[in-house]
Amino acid sequence: MGILNLTPDSFSDGGLYEGAAALVQARRMIAQGADLLDLGGESTRPGADPVPAEVEIARVTPVIAALAQDGTAPISVDTMKPAVARAAMAAGATLWNDVTALRYAPDSADVAAELGCQVVLMHMQGEPRTMQAAPRYEDVVGEVCGFLLGRAEAALAAGVARDRIWLDPGIGFGKTLDHNLTLLAHLEKVCALGFPVLLGASRKRFIAALHPAADAPAARAPGSIAAALAGAAAGVAAVRVHDVGETAQALDVWSAIEGARRP
Ligand code: HH2
């Protein structure tokens, strides 16, 4: 899943892709091996300010419509707002990536069911503005799995079809370095919940904590790939990444080696 942030303030690529540059970048990611694109019009980085729905809609829908016209890859919208998801699906998106796991609005789950789209339910402790202040868990893997299962049940109860639900442990969303590493080391437990899992570790801050020379987000591709490979080994269905060509190459080589293990 290639990331396209149509925002002025995203932590790694804010302000890079506006107007025609957005379409060029989207098509480049597909050419580099992305099977799916995730478009967002509001940053969820720690401390980010919220954006009104109309602004998000104006940022994402023209690009979604142009890419849907191309018809080369399914399109996901990264939003917590039902109104934005609705506008994105009308423009041609088929997946709603919701970092609040359908908790932002009282009607989020009903809207997801009504739209009939696929939905990514992500774990986050707290909310983007404050989530990194003091994350606390007794058992991070157990709590994240319990939360995700509860949100999947809420989506099912609202009428979202079981085969449209994805889960995501939410790397970096209300988590310390230790929490992120523990989750990355136990992704098979998230996969065992019985839904496809999406992993989003690309260019995140924990990489710089482990390798201080990668202070600039754009310098974190190698660490991002290491996390993507850990995800692949654990059985995740998709990785959400900025560096599509590099990640696709790593995954192709990794899966060829895995294939050669079997007689
Ligand atoms: N991470 C970000 C945003 N959306 N969605 C899912 N499902 N999983 C993630 O890990 C995830 C996500 C944060 O990264 P990015 O989009 O690059 O930055 P920003 O939120 O600043 O736009």
pLDDT tens sequence across 193-209: 999 999 999 999 999 99
Task: Work out the end-to-end distance of the chain between its first and last CA atoms, rounded to an integer number of angstroms.
Answer: 30
Find out whether the beta carbon of 100 lies less than 6 Å from any atom of ligand 1. Answer: no
User: pTM of the full predicted structure?
Assistant: 0.96
User: Could you tell which of 76, 99, 167 is best to mutate to test the pocket of ligand 1, judged by most ligand atoms within 8 Å of the CB?
Assistant: 99
Q: What is the DSSP letter of 122?
A: E
Question: What interhelical angle do 53-70 and 20-31 show, nearest 10?
Answer: 50
How far apart are the C-alpha atoms of 235 and 148, rounded to whole Å?
17
Is any atom of ligand 1 closer than 6 Å to the C-beta of 240?
yes
262 — pLDDT class (breaks 50, 70, 90)? confident
Task: Show the tokens assigned to 146.
Answer: 């319990």
Q: In this predicted model, what pLDDT tens digit does every residue of 112-137 receive, in sequence order? A: 999 999 999 999 998 888 888 889 99
On average, the pLDDT of the chain sits at: 95
Choice from 29, 202, 204, 240 to test ligand 1 binding pocket (greatest atom count within 8 A of CB)? 240
175 annotated active-site: no
* For residue 214, pLDDT beyond 80: yes
In this predicted structure, the answer to whether residue 31 has a pLDDT above a threshold of 90 is yes
- Is residue 204 part of the annotated active site? The answer reads yes
**Assigned token pair, 214:** 């990668």
Residue 100: DSSP 8-state? T
Contacts of 151 (CB under 8 A, 6+ apart): 101, 102, 103, 121
